[in-house]
Structure 1
């Protein structure tokens, strides 16, 4: 044993086999090449490419102004800027984004004087308190041979490994709409959500009251006080399942509507709520059939067009699950907790 308490290693034990050594050297070489690329990749994405790490942008916005056509309700963006480092004739994609979501793509061509003024017609969008932003992309595949020849000469500005060359313009974020328009739009959106989840809660409660009425023989029964399946089925099919299907279809369409760009997560929760209510109501109906000595109706087991597959699997959502979803929706659409009690 050596002084450290370990057995001394023989020369053969210190020897690293040739294949292992070659493998280690090869991995080291690859890592070295990768790290040599990293500065170029990082610097190609926007800031820090000037002398001494100062900010140097390929596309420099100087002003972005949004105007609204009162007749159509659509916005037009007046975008001004300069591109002193970019060859004339270069095609630049302007990606309009909101919270990293791509809203619309525009393309401009760098003029001879390297200064641009673009008038961009934006697709229908609702005013929102969250700001929009441009991401600019210079894609080599979209350039002419002449432009690419000029770009390839500027290897520091346009490192090939970083193509397409992208910049994020966080310092030029902007709003669509005035303060009053944004508030009015938000109020309309809040009303849209609250009216729908309130109606879903009403449907849920109506089914439970209906089941109780059958048990008390006060409704959905014949003259003898016996369960009238025809009356119950008409109620479930038309006033419950059909209405929930309509809501689910409406919510799914909402994901593609510009007015809900800022509220897609709230839409997801509202859709989840409709599924939970669908599961609860059809389950109550199935239990009613069984309590009356009848097999569950196929229209409740597998209702046509109505989604009832909940995240919890087979577990039927509780009322607390519904309340939790409403709280999440309210938080996203800006309804304060103290107001939730009055919203359904």
Structure 2
């Protein structure tokens, strides 16, 4: 028994196992009696063995599980790592918690179930998602967000394709990292918008706090760009160019979109139309001499494009028409009041 425990400790300390060691460990995990791992966990993580035998509530179980995962975590995240071993170690940690009485993991007919990664995909409507750490993500249409059931290890990693607005729960000991096809954004606690559609362009706009942005192919920290509130970074993969800019108006746009209402007090109509074109992904043409007019009013994010444009047209005593090609709108016949 003691020799088996020592051998298990030896295997868990290795970064790579031989084929014989892999076979032995897998055979051991298939055995119903895994008291040796329980004893190792009790010793390594300073937990009383009698305490581990009791039924733990969810909060206690999560705390122990996070501690074990942190201990077993392999920091390098590249495909050249021994991926199966990393997963196996996490499975062992989860198995220990099952023995300890966690009610949100389970074993059925010898099969181990652990919290799976979650994936949110939006089509025609935006969706707000609360992550396990309390962070809020507003996912724009035609976007995909992937994240784990629990954030274990030293970082909080999510994957995004498309566009989303992030309101990250502060945690200075566990940075929040957004992985996209082109750039990686790292924060501790802030609000920012990320655009990363599969078109070769990525953009990050910070509304509060600061964010570190680097390209996926960056080889060191010196290639990272730090941006503060009201600043942006845009990266074009085709020309391999990254650009930092001051964008206070864009930051306001994202804040208003997240709040659910676009509000204007004496804003030039041309700017209002530009934001509507951006938000509704359509074209709007002002016909006549309305370019110098200003707009007082607001529209809700859930208003359809016809209603939102009619509000602007009403203030100008104008009318809204669909273009003949059905791919845009005309605002015509108006004057500044």
TM-score (norm 2): 0.24
Structure ranking higher in strand proportion: 2
Structure ranking higher in helix proportion: 1
Q: Which structure is richer in relative contact order (CA contacts within 8 A, separation 6 or more)?
A: 1
Larger radius of gyration: 1
TM-score (norm 1): 0.24
